[in-house]
Structure 1
């Protein structure tokens, strides 16, 4: 019984904010402040809020959403591939400085990404990449935790006997990796991809300091600029931006939910494979 109560409490902790977001997306500015937060108003206007969110400022929210999809997709695919390649290399090859290099990479996990944002900005400003999509994508390609995860996963997922058999058959190292290892690493690869996807999708501080063109904003920075307008507008015209911020937040999480639902089968297949004795 105590365990059930604890699980229900955890479930409520995660679901109540999502429920509040869905409910609040149906309200106007007045209802947001004058009605109970966890229940609908007397005149729900979700469709009107969605229409206003997608059309305000010449449809800039759609541009922000597409920017976010671009940044997150390229970053997650690139980071997953680099983590898989490096993790496979550390797991299956031995070279001078192997242990020291891996320990150095693991140590960088403890460095907050926000601490690296300013040095990264200064470096990118020297090469003219500030205020470009690459200023958001390139730093997101480096995922030390993903490399660590793929190294641990590759140790057991790719048997040494299989690699040796492929070498005896005349396969080169690149062919072994691309034709054999990558397929066996698919569940771990999807895990790193999803971690990077969520991190890049929700990234706020890096694009905030790297981008000053609103047309390049991701949805996090764009909605923040709308929230600033709503706060500065007070009771004026800009105060109507607040429902758009809430509705935009709801719309922005839908692609992530779809990605998780679509890619979870790779996790399930990986668990089933690991449950069978080889």
Structure 2
């Protein structure tokens, strides 16, 4: 009579648990010195970039005389409300007009540029046609061209068609973004499956409907990033509007603030320095609000095409 073999738990080794970070490989630890160096570099970068913002915030709460007395990086006599009132009432409230013009240029230009980038990037990624690679290489070359180099040629072109000193002189050059086309093409190639497009065609959907109902939704993180970059580029642009616009009522806030800064010591119409600083602080608020509201889309759009 035979007996079944029994498992001796006292002598058998315990089962091995897989080690995180790889099968059979020990976990790798970052040296403590490297972590501290990384934290020190990040802290230095944070202080370096946030110090001007902090100074701008503190300076906007001071009176004109308070800017030149006391600690420049700490609050003094609180005059923010008076400064804001002066900013929005000076010269008949022209600062509000400048802000509205900036919103028009930035929102309108960024929206059209995002749509054009989505259309061009999707076509370059998903349609095979003669000259596709040449077109994409030209887009890459356009990304490397500094925008100030195009200001004078644009001015001469718009002079011939009588668009100088109009809203179109700023809106039309903002309607195309080579970087937006590049990012949209990379993201469309990596995230829009060909099988999904074929399924839409089998179901009878046209190319426009496939793009609007499928591609735009999948590409939304990259498109939000394109919109954000183009919005910031247009909002902070100075050379193009100062070259194209002579009418104060058409100028964006960047040109208006520089004009006030140039008048800070000219006779009775001089603009105090604290008013110029407060106006600059107000002009930054829309950018901060936009970054905070779109940051999760922005982070995901920056990694577009990095993992396929």
Give the shorter-chain TM-score range. over 0.9
Partner of 1:62: 96
TM value normalised by structure 2: 0.84
1:177 lines up with 2:211 in the alignment: yes
Distance in 2 (CA, whole Å) between partners of 1:125 and 1:191 is 33
Could you tell me how far 1:271 is from its partner in structure 2?
9.3
Inter-partner Cα distance in structure 2 for 1:124 and 1:272? 37
Cα 1:39–1:115 shift into 2, 3 Å: same
Q: Which residue matches 1:25? A: 60
Q: Secondary structure at the match of 1:13?
A: helix
Q: Give the conservation status (yes or no) of the 8 Å contact 2:223–2:301.
A: no
CA distance in 2, matches of 1:237, 1:126: 39
- 2:158 maps to 124
TM-score, normalization: structure 1? 0.93
Q: CA RMSD in A?
A: 2.1
Mapped to 2, the partners of 1:270 and 1:57 lie a distance apart of 42
Equivalences for residues 235-250 of structure 1 within 5 A: 236-250=267-281
**What are the within-5 Å matches in structure 2 for residues 110-189 of structure 1?**
110-189=144-223
Q: Is the 8 A contact 2:59 2:67 kept in 1?
A: yes
Q: Which is worse superposed, 60-69 or 253-262?
A: 253-262
Q: Alpha carbons of 1:102 and 1:270: their partners in 2 closer, same or farther (altered >3 Å)?
A: closer
Contact 2:222 2:304 in 1 (8 A): no
Q: Which residue of structure 2 aligns with residue 211 of structure 1?
A: 245
SS of the aligned residue for 1:95 comes to: coil
Q: Which runs of 5+ in 2 are unaligned?
A: 1-35
Quick check: 2:242–2:255 contact (8 Å CA) kept in 1?
yes
| Offset of residue 89 of structure 1 | 0.4
| Counterparts of 1:35 and 1:156, CA distance in 2 | 56
- Structure 2 distance, partners of 1:141, 1:104, is 17
| Superimposed CA distance per residue, residues 36-57 of structure 1 (whole angstroms, 9 cap, x where no aligned partner) | 221122x220110000001000
How much does 1:272 deviate?
A: 11
Higher helix share: 1
Write out per-residue CA displacement over residues 123-150 of structure 1, whole angstroms, 9 at most, x where no aligned residue.
0111111111111111011100110011
Alpha carbons 1:29, 1:240 under 8 Å: kept: no
1:3 to 25, 38, 48: 38
Confirm or deny: 8 A CA contact 2:261 2:271 kept in the other structure: no
The gaps in structure 1 that reach 5 residues or longer are: none
Structure 1 residues 237 and 37, CA gap change in structure 2 (3 angstroms):
farther
CA apart distance, 1:259: 1.4
CA drift at 1:262: 1.8
Q: Which has the larger radius of gyration?
A: 2
**Greater relative contact order structure (CA < 8 Å, 6+ sep):** 1
Segments ≥4 residues shifted beyond 3 Å = 236-240, 265-274
Contact 2:245–2:251 (Cα < 8 Å) also in 1: yes
